[in-house]
Copies of this chain bind each other. A is one copy, B any other.
Amino acid sequence: MVEAARQEFSERGYGATSIRDIAQRAGVSLSALYYYYKGKQDLLVAILEDGLDAYFSACDAALAAAGDDPAEQLEALVAATVRFRTEHPVKSSIVLTEGRSLEPEHLARYRKNEARGTQQFREVVERGVAQGIFLTPYPDDARRAVIAMCNAIAEWYKAEGPVSLDELVERYVSLALIVVEYRPRAVRRAARGT
């Protein structure tokens, strides 16, 4: 039932989706749907929360497996994000576009929760800059660029494409490090040594 709603919301948008479409797609009666969910908005809330939770879980797992190094952590976040956008394109597209369909009472909480995603990237980038391994002079814009390019994947990625997922991850990790102008210490030390 949530899955049917997710599909419909993702395809038509929340506003253009009728709750009957959802019920039909889910193969349940209209009343059955209302037995489990309070209404259309309730479905959206459930879907958005689940979307964020799933994404954050993936990020947390990736970060847990990474060390203290900001570069390693940025790689972890980018890899997690790219994987999530490709493996869950529907969840992704809803989370990325339907926040605005939330009614005021749910919106504030959601936006706050959503901000955690940005915050994780911000901290990593800033630490990298502080440690002198991310040379970008515009940490905020670099962060936004990295997030934007990862998120955009959800719009065009098709599993059947010519590029494997692992390859795609590698490319975006590489792009992200380029954007923040990553220079590993070893190289710098070597360079300094010259």
Q: Is A172 touching B97 in the complex (CB atoms < 8 A)?
A: no
**Chain A binding surface, main DSSP class:** helix
Query: With an 8 A cutoff between CB atoms, is A145 at the interface?
Result: yes
Q: List the B side residues contacting A101 at CB < 8 Å.
A: 13, 16
Q: Is A172 touching B141 in the complex (CB atoms < 8 A)?
A: yes
Q: List the B side residues contacting A171 at CB < 8 Å.
A: 138, 141
Q: List the B side residues contacting A181 at CB < 8 Å.
A: 178
Q: How many residues of A contact B (CB 8 A)?
A: 30
Q: List the B side residues contacting A145 at CB < 8 Å.
A: 145, 148-149, 152, 172, 175, 179
Query: With an 8 A cutoff between CB atoms, is A86 at the interface?
Result: no
Query: With an 8 A cutoff between CB atoms, is A56 at the interface?
Result: no
C-beta contact mask, A162-188 vs B, less than 8 Å → 1, else 0? 000000100110110011010000000
Name A's B-contacting residues (CB within 8 A): 11-17, 97, 100-101, 138, 141-142, 144-145, 147-149, 151-153, 156, 168, 171-172, 174-175, 178-179, 181
